Structure formats: C-alpha cells, structure tokens
Structure 1
Amino acid sequence: MKTVRKLFLAGGILALLAYVGGRIHRKVSFRPAPSIRQTQAEEGVPVEVVRIEPASFATFISATGRVVSEEEASVSAKYGGRILSFPKEIGDTVAKGETLATLDTLQLEIQREQALSQVAVAQRTAAQAKAEMDDAAKDVGRMERLFAEKVISEKEVERARLRYDSAVQRHEAAQAQVKAAQDAVRLVEQAIEESVITAPFSGIIGSKLASVGEVVPAGRPILTLANLAKLTCAVNLPENDLPRVRPGQDATVVFDAFPGKEFTASVLRIAGTPNPDTRLFEAHLRLRERPAGLRPGLFVKATIVTRRSAGVLAVPEQALVSQEGTTAVFTVKEGKARLTPVAIGEKSDGKVEIRSGLASGEFVVISGREMLTEGISVRVRKAENGL
C-alpha cells in the first residue's frame, strides 16, 4: 500500500514539473509578430513605377453642340395670298429653283384682265390725242403760210400754235397713262409668276410655318431652308476656355447619329459675343470629311486640340502628392523612395505636364505611394517603360 502511494506521489510531482517547465518554455520562446511598418522597412514597400521619357503632349477642350448651316433662309411670299400646295415635305431636299409652294392666283388674274382693259382704254385715248396733235401741227403750218401771204394776222397764227401746244400736252399725258397701265399689268403678271415660290438655293426643308389653305401676307415666312453644302458644327464654349481656342486648331467630332465613327475638323471661327441666355460662346468647326446623311440639328460632341508639343515630360495624375501646399512625386533611387517637389503645367487625358523637378529616365511611383515616406525602402512590383 505504501508502495502505491509513493508511486502516485512521484507521478504527480513529475506532472507538475512538466507543466511548470512548459509554461516557462512558452514565456521564454514567445516573440510578438512584426508590424506592417517593420515588415515594409525590412522587405520594402511594394510599388509600381513608370520611367518618364520625353514624349508628345496635347491638351484638349471638350464641347457639345449641333450641326448648323452657314446658309439658312426663311422663305416668304413676296406678294401674299392663299397657299394652294406644298409639293415638298419637311426633311425633303430640293434643288435651286425647284417649287416649294404655290399660291392662289384667281384674284391676280382678275386684276390682270382689268389692267389689260385699262391699257386698251389708255391706248385709244393716246391714239386720239395723237391724231389731234397731228391735225394741230398741220393747222399751224397752214396758218404760217397764210400769214406769209398776208392773208391772216399774226394773232391767228399764235392761236394755232397754242392749240398745237395743248394737243402735244394731251398726247404726252395719254402716253403716260398708257405706260402706267402697262406697268400695272407687268406688276400683276410678276405677282402671278411669283405665286410659285421656288428654292433660292439647293438645300433641305427644315420646317413649315404655314398650312395649305392659309392666307399669308406679303413677306411672312412660310418655311425654312438650309444649304446642305455649307454645314458646320456649332459647339458651345464657356468664357474661361476662349483664350485657349483659336481658328485653325484641329478637332475631332463624333455624332450620336453615326456611332463608332470619328471625324476630323478644324476651328473655323468663334463668336464675338456670347448667347444672351446661356452666356456661352459659339465656335464653328468645319468638317474635313462630311458623312453621308449629315443634316442640321444633329447632336455633336467635339474635342478641340488646344496645344500639341513634343519632348514633354509628363506623369500620370495619380503620381502626384500634395504636402503642405507643395506638389511632389515619389521617385525611386537606389531602392529608396524620394519625395521630389515638381512644378506642373497643364493636365490632359489623365497626364500632367512636368515643367521642372524631374529629369528624363527617372522612375516615378504611380501605385503604392500612400504607404511611402521619405527614404523608406521600396520593392518595385511592376514597372512601365514610358507613359
């Protein structure tokens, strides 16, 4: 029995010693896990870099607008009347001289008949006055011969001459009446002729401003016409973009009506004053190649190249760091991150022009810069050669 107790006592002591020894071993061998900063300092912060080289650099302005015609007309009836027909519809193309509308000429034709009757009356009156004038002239001649023969007095000759002068005046007045009546006929005939309203130039009908059967006064527009040969793209610019835009600059244009296609253009001119409602300035772009089906009113998206330079150093915008009002980038030199102040210029297409602070061939961090500090070790995970 004593032997058994001794064995149990010895086993308990051994177990206690094993437990205490294990605790002591764990305390002695435990080490805390290193922090992220410690790991980065030892292994280097993983970054992506780009090697900058001189390259071409362009800046752009984006604008929207619509297609317009340089030659648009509001076609009107010169003499007025009731509209009989519109042979063409909105959106139809017409050639110069083609009929756009016709007006009722019934009243004009009645006026022409009346005017022709007045001409006939005036001509008969003029013929009678001519005969009277001729008779008076013969009478003057006869009186002058009799006076020369001393048959009549000089006073009778003077009376004959006065009768002749009166006949001449009546004849001239009758001739003027004939001319006035003929002019009236010509005016009515011109009105009849112009009751057929024709296109002043080839183009497309944009809108109708009157209906068949409507009586329109002289000079009132009845439809609009746009010249398809003189189409431009009118885009809207805010005033702060004006100093950067000038005639002759290149541009690209896209239309919703022609998806997937891009067209080249150039700046033709810029409006001198803004639109009073939008306060935007209108710039006209001339297309170098005009797509088939282009017409006024189509929506336009344009990109104007305001500057194009060669040999420019540029970095992606995400490479920039702003610290205490200073713009800088992180460069990588001998495995270390170096905070390098830079002077920047214009931005374009996700890139920023570097005017000073960097040299060609330097490596600039474009990803991972959030974890960088001056002098920290870096591990280049990915490098891009050039932008």
Structure 2
Amino acid sequence: MKRKHIIVLIVLVLVGLIIFKLSSNKRILEEKKQPEKDTLVRIPVKVAAVVEELRTINLVKTGSLAPFKEAKVLAPMAGTIAQLKVNLGDQVQEGQVLAVIDTRLMQLDLQKAVSNARKLERDLATYTELLAGQAATQEKVNELRQSHADAINQVAQLKKQIADAYIKAPTSGTVATKAVEVGVFANAGAEIATIVNLSQAKVQLNLTESEVYQTRQGQEVKISTDVYPDAEFKGKVSFISPQADETRSYKVELIAENKQSNLLRSGTFVYADFSRQTEQKILLIPREAITESVKDAFVYVLDQDKVRQRQVKTGIESGSSIQIISGLKAGERVVTSGQINLKEGTAISISK
C-alpha cells in the first residue's frame, strides 16, 4: 500500500515538473515574440515654424561704388617708351599727352619717304612733258603716277604713326595704375595706364521684383556711407535692368554727386535710401535657428523624426527674427535649440 502511494507521488511530481517546464518555455517564447525596445538615442531639441508675414519696410539698399568713367590707356603701336609724363594719382585732362614712344627710326623713314615722293613728283612732271611731245609712252607716265601716289600714301602713314606715338588721355580723371616705365618696350595694345573719373560716383545695387516696379528712371535717392557718417550725397536712378538675373534680382545703377571734401572712392559700400516704404511678404524664423555666420547660414529642418541640414540666404533682422530670402518655405519647422549635437540625419525628439 505504501509502495502504491510512493508511485503516485512520484508521478504527480513528474507531471508538475513537466507542467512547470512547459509553462517556462511558453513564457520564453512569448518574450521573444515581443518587439524590441527602441534603443536609438534621440537628441532633444526645440523647434519653430517658418512664418510668412506682411511687413512694411523702409526701402534702404546696400550697394558698392564704381567709377563714373574708367578708361585703360593702350599703346596704339609697338615701341620703346621714350617719355612718361604722369605719375600715380596725377589729375589729367582728356587729350593730355601721357607718354611718348621713341620715333627716331620712324623720323628717318619719313625723311626718306618725303625725298622719294618729291623725286617721283619731279619725274612725273618731266615724263608728262615728254609725253606731250611724244617723247615718252603713256605706260611710263602711268607707272610714275602710281608710284608717286604710293609714295604720298607712305608719307601719310608714317606721319600718322609718329602722331600716334604721342599717347593721350581718352578721358579726364585720376591716374589709378601705371603699367610701364621709361625705356620699357611696349607691344601694340599693351596697357600704359588706367584713368578713373571720380567727378561723379556710380552706385551699383540689386532690387527685388516688387521693389524694381516701384522705382523709376531719374528718381532721387539719398546716398550715405559709414566712411562719412555725417555726410549725405544726392543721387538719381540712371539705369534699371530690363531683365532679372538668376536670383530674380534686377541690377540698378545710380549716379551720385561726389564732393571733393568727402571724396567717394571706387569700391566703397554705401546705403541707398529711396525715401519711401514698401509692403512685402517675407519669411521669418527665430534668429537662434541660424548656425554659423549670417553670410554662410544654414539651419536644421525637421524631416519626420530626423533633421536635414539646409543652406539658406538671409535678409534683414527684425528683433529676435531674421528674414529668409531663399532656402525655406512657409510652414516648415526649424530647430531653434540643441543644434550643437546635430548633424545631417540625426534622430531627434521635440522638447516643449
């Protein structure tokens, strides 16, 4: 009887062990079926939307100065520079002799050509008289007449070359560069000097499509510069490009007065105040969204749960916001905090 009880007890223990093992295996299988936990590290950031606003803006544009007139003085013929009559910075007048090319050999050639022309003139007169007395042929007279004409042309050419040896200023202005010295051989077309006319200043700038349609030829503009903060120069619109460039901007030129007391020089940055306001729709983002410098700006744009780095072109700053001229669209979201830990394609989580 006791043996029977022992056998039953052993069977029950074995059944219990089997049930426990099966239950344990089932739990392990269910755990394996569970999806793996997301172990990807996400960088917490703050974001803001790109907004479009209608703003009233004072139309003040930046531009740079170019010479009113700039002319390169070129050698009309090859030769050695015998005289150089100007130095850098000299003021010259149109038609003034700046340099002289050595003409000694041409002078000798001219003397020979003049002597030959005179001889042919005498021979032509003699043979013309002989022809009248039937002592010469018409062919000989025609030959001498052609030779005399060629000699006259040679004399005229040599005189022209000698006159061209006196190199003159094509415009009035200041000698900005001097490329040769006395004794140097200059080829035909070689640059001798550059003359810049600063009697007036030419301002070059770009206007947007909405701005250019509110600008007219001859419109008065106030010109100022950081170099002379207390001075104001009067200008007028002298040229408006009929065609936009690849950035949808229109080139505009202004002619401004130039004062000797506050002389504006080529290359100076200036501000052109068109003395009016204009309404524009502009895109704005928080200033802190910009990374690097404003000149080489880029932002991080949300792309689902990641960020993409994008180059942008910025415009005016308004309080804590900055205008975006190109690179973004209204409604897109940009990172405003946490950029230091980001790179292209970084996974992020948005903090409140």
Which TM bucket (shorter chain)? 0.5 to 0.7
Residues 100 and 198 of structure 1 are in contact (CA less than 8 Å); yes or no, is this contact kept in structure 2?
yes
Over 3 Å counting, the alpha-carbon distance change for 1:212 and 1:62 in structure 2 is same
Residues 206 and 226 of structure 1 are in contact (CA less than 8 Å); yes or no, is this contact kept in structure 2?
yes
Structure number with greater Rg is 1
Instruction: After the TM superposition, list the runs of 4 or more consecutive aligned residues in structure 1 that deviate by more than 4 angstroms.
Output: 236-246, 272-276, 278-281, 347-350
CA deviation after TM superposition for structure 1 residue 302, in Å = 1.5
**Which residue of 90, 96, 100 corresponds with 2:98?**
100
**RMSD value, Cα:** 3.5
Q: Which residue of 1 aligns with 2:268?
A: 299
CA deviation after TM superposition for structure 1 residue 249, in Å = 3.9
The separation in 1 between residues aligned to 2:112 and 2:181, in whole angstroms, is: 30
Determine whether 1:75 maps to 2:45: no
Q: Percent identity?
A: 24
CA deviation after TM superposition for structure 1 residue 272, in Å = 4.5
Over 3 Å counting, the alpha-carbon distance change for 1:231 and 1:261 in structure 2 is closer
Q: Which residue of 2 aligns with 1:63?
A: 62
Residues 58 and 306 of structure 1 are in contact (CA less than 8 Å); yes or no, is this contact kept in structure 2?
no
Q: Which amino acid aligns with 1:90?
A: L
Q: Which residue of 1 aligns with 2:173?
A: 203
Unaligned residue ranges in structure 1 (runs of 5+): 1-56, 137-162, 313-346, 351-387
The separation in 1 between residues aligned to 2:265 and 2:235, in whole angstroms, is: 17
The separation in 1 between residues aligned to 2:87 and 2:248, in whole angstroms, is: 35
CA deviation after TM superposition for structure 1 residue 104, in Å = 0.7
**Structure (1/2) with the larger helix percentage:** 1
Residues 78 and 185 of structure 2 are in contact (CA less than 8 Å); yes or no, is this contact kept in structure 1?
yes
If asked which structure has higher relative contact order (CA below 8 Å, sep 6+), I would say: 1
The separation in 2 between residues aligned to 1:176 and 1:267, in whole angstroms, is: 59
CA offsets, 1:13-51, max 9 Å, x none?
xxxxxxxxxxxxxxxxxxxxxxxxxxxxxxxxxxxxxxx
Residues 200 and 255 of structure 2 are in contact (CA less than 8 Å); yes or no, is this contact kept in structure 1?
no
The separation in 1 between residues aligned to 2:202 and 2:196, in whole angstroms, is: 12
Q: Which amino acid aligns with 1:305?
A: F
Residues 222 and 275 of structure 2 are in contact (CA less than 8 Å); yes or no, is this contact kept in structure 1?
no
CA deviation after TM superposition for structure 1 residue 235, in Å = 2.9
**Which residue of 128, 131, 137 corresponds with 1:130?**
128
The separation in 1 between residues aligned to 2:318 and 2:217, in whole angstroms, is: 23
CA offsets, 1:174-201, max 9 Å, x none?
1221222122112112211221111223
Residues 199 and 258 of structure 2 are in contact (CA less than 8 Å); yes or no, is this contact kept in structure 1?
no
The separation in 2 between residues aligned to 1:217 and 1:254, in whole angstroms, is: 43
Residues 66 and 300 of structure 1 are in contact (CA less than 8 Å); yes or no, is this contact kept in structure 2?
yes
Determine whether 1:185 maps to 2:155: yes
CA deviation after TM superposition for structure 1 residue 245, in Å = 4.4
Q: Which residue of 2 aligns with 1:7?
A: none
Equivalent residues in 2 for 1:213-232, closer than 5 Å? 213-232=183-202
Over 3 Å counting, the alpha-carbon distance change for 1:80 and 1:221 in structure 2 is same
Over 3 Å counting, the alpha-carbon distance change for 1:273 and 1:100 in structure 2 is farther
Residues 95 and 201 of structure 1 are in contact (CA less than 8 Å); yes or no, is this contact kept in structure 2?
yes
CA offsets, 1:78-126, max 9 Å, x none?
2231112321122221112211111111121121122123213322431
Task: Indicate the SS of the match to 1:187.
Answer: helix
Q: Which residue of 2 aligns with 1:283?
A: 252
Residues 255 and 298 of structure 1 are in contact (CA less than 8 Å); yes or no, is this contact kept in structure 2?
no
Determine whether 1:111 maps to 2:109: yes
Over 3 Å counting, the alpha-carbon distance change for 1:230 and 1:254 in structure 2 is closer
Over 3 Å counting, the alpha-carbon distance change for 1:294 and 1:75 in structure 2 is same
CA deviation after TM superposition for structure 1 residue 236, in Å = 4.5
Q: Which amino acid aligns with 1:64?
A: G
Q: Which amino acid aligns with 1:223?
A: A
Equivalent residues in 2 for 1:289-328, closer than 5 Å? 289-292=257-260, 294=263, 296-305=265-274, 307-308=276-277
With normalisation by structure 1, the TM-score equals 0.50
With normalisation by structure 2, the TM-score equals 0.55
Residues 82 and 104 of structure 1 are in contact (CA less than 8 Å); yes or no, is this contact kept in structure 2?
yes
CA offsets, 1:63-82, max 9 Å, x none?
1212321x332222222311
Residues 90 and 207 of structure 1 are in contact (CA less than 8 Å); yes or no, is this contact kept in structure 2?
yes
